[in-house]
Chain A
Amino acid sequence: MKTDGSAAPAEPSDLDLVQRIKSGQEDAFEQMVDRYHARVYSLSYGVLRNAEDAEEATQDTFLTLYRKIGTFDESKKFFSWFYRVALNQAYSRARRRRPASTVPIEDYLPRFSSDGHIASPELPDWSASIEDGAIARELAGRAGEFIADLPPAYRDVIWMYDVEEMSTSDIAETLEISIPALKSRLHRARLYVRQRLAEISQAPAQEEVSR
């Protein structure tokens, strides 16, 4: 993920834009919207799973940027700060729609015997089924629902890393957590989603085998 404005010499950096916005230059705010609206929308969509809500959350996020940019500490990375603003906007909207989830993530983690071998019930290997684009999209949709049920600490990390493909350093800075903590949350979230996908794939996989 490129956020430091170094992609092309002619492009102003995020910090350049921030300073110009603070000094009241309208075109700088327009450039910031142009640069980040798609990414903020994508993040909002991930949290809200609804296009209309995601668009409204994106608007709210940029309004907050406009109003609060004076509080941004220029020694920090702008995008990390702004991503957090966007996350807060999306969560605030999500909380109005549904209560916070309490999915028992531990129930979906793999189990092991006392000698350290896998003890979870064997599920069909569904991984080959994603070669079919339609099945893959269906599974992705279900995965999105599963992620939405996760506690925010896990949901943020798996969305940023696996969906948004942000770097670990950017995620760690945005969420203000260590890299080991990030990786631990990411791994547990993936184990959870993997298990849920395996369970829903069980029936189609068996039908496929019997054909």
Chain B
Amino acid sequence: MSDVTCKKFILDLLVDYEDGTMPAEERALFQQHMELCPPCLRFLTSYQATGKTLKLLKPEEIPPDLARSVLAFVRSRAGKKT
């Protein structure tokens, strides 16, 4: 599969490479392309950095009384004890 292009690499293969579902043989070809293609390697690096950045997006803290406020809200709206 020496005709693997950047386009195929980025649009078709990258997501399978990242989630680990790419077959071993295809993975080897993918990595070979990466070694030979600096633009694709840069693209891969920033794609992975995007994923790492997104993992920081969870709210830093959950309101400490949230569970209690949820129960109070439901009980008041439901019109009876839950």
B10 within 8 A of partner (CB): yes
Total A-B pairs, Cβ < 8 A: 139
**Per-position binary interface string of chain B over residues 21-53, scored 1 when its CB falls under 8 Å from any chain A CB and 0 otherwise:** 000000000000000000110110111111111
Given contacts A116-B7, A140-B54, A183-B15, contact A51 B48 (CB under 8 A): no
User: For chain A, what secondary structure do more than half of its interface residues adopt (helix, strand, loop), or is it mixed?
Assistant: helix
**Pair B57/A186 contact, Cβ less than 8 Å:** no
Size bin of chain B's contact surface: 35 or more
Of the residues A46, A117, A144, A158, contact of B6 by C-beta under 8 Å:
A117
**30 interchain pairs (CB within 8 A)?**
A33-B74, A34-B67, A37-B62, A37-B66, A41-B59, A42-B59, A45-B59, A51-B59, A58-B70, A59-B74, A62-B71, A63-B73, A63-B78, A66-B82, A67-B78, A110-B11, A110-B43, A118-B10, A118-B40, A127-B49, A136-B56, A163-B57, A165-B55, A183-B16, A187-B11, A190-B50, A193-B54, A194-B47, A194-B50, A198-B46
Q: Which A residues have a C-beta under 8 Å from some C-beta of B?
A: 26, 29-30, 33-34, 37-38, 41-42, 45-46, 51, 54-55, 58-59, 62-63, 66-67, 110, 112, 115-118, 122, 125-127, 130, 136-137, 139-141, 143-144, 147, 158, 162-165, 168, 183-184, 186-187, 190-191, 193-194, 197-198
